Structures are given as structure tokens and as C-alpha cells.
């Protein structure tokens, strides 16, 4: 797994490809705690169940799902972090 942080202006990319449910959403949830409120995080996943898991995460924790795009071999999600 390749996890990379960048400045808020550049966004953030978490590559969670290769992980199976529920690991992508669990690892993302932990990583998102380290980011400032309002940061945009781009996440790559290839588990077919991950999009539903990320929607549930956003509903539960309060992050905002900005986009969900199908890519070859998986999906790319963009989240806006909400950390009170």
C-alpha cells in the first residue's frame, strides 16, 4: 500500500488498492483523522464493495463524498474531511 500526504491545496492521495473489505475503509478512516477539517482526500480502491463502504463512512462520521469515478481496475473517490 502506498500512502502519500500532500498540502491541502494539492489534495491528498491514499492508494488502498489491493485491500479487501473492510480494510480500505478502516485504513482510510484512521488516516483521515490526521487531516485538517476541510481537506480534500483522493482515495483509490479496487474492492468492488468499497464505494458502498465509503458512502456509509461519510454518513456515519460526517465526511463529504465529493465524487466517485470508475477507473480501470477500480474507483477513485474524493472526500472532504470533517474532523471536529
DSSP SS3 for 13: strand
From the CB of residue 49, how many other CB atoms can be counted at a distance below 10 Å? 13
As given in the structure block, the three cell numbers for residue 73 are: 481496475
Catalytic residue among 21, 31, 58, 65: 21
DSSP SS3 for 17: coil
Q: Which of 7, 6, 58, 24 is nearest to 15 (CA)?
A: 24
Whether 21 is a known active-site residue: answer: yes
Catalytic residue IDs: 21
Amino acid at each position: 500500500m502506498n500512502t502519500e500526504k500532500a498540502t491541502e491545496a494539492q489534495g491528498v492521495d491514499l492508494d488502498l488498492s489491493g485491500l479487501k473489505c473492510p480494510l480500505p475503509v478502516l485504513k482510510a478512516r484512521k488516516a483521515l483523522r490526521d487531516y485538517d477539517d476541510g481537506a480534500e482526500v483522493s482515495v483509490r480502491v479496487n474492492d468492488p464493495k468499497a464505494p458502498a463502504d465509503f458512502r456509509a463512512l461519510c454518513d456515519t462520521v460526517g465526511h463529504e463524498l465529493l465524487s466517485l469515478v470508475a477507473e480501470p481496475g477500480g474507483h477513485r473517490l474524493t472526500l472532504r474531511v470533517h474532523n471536529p
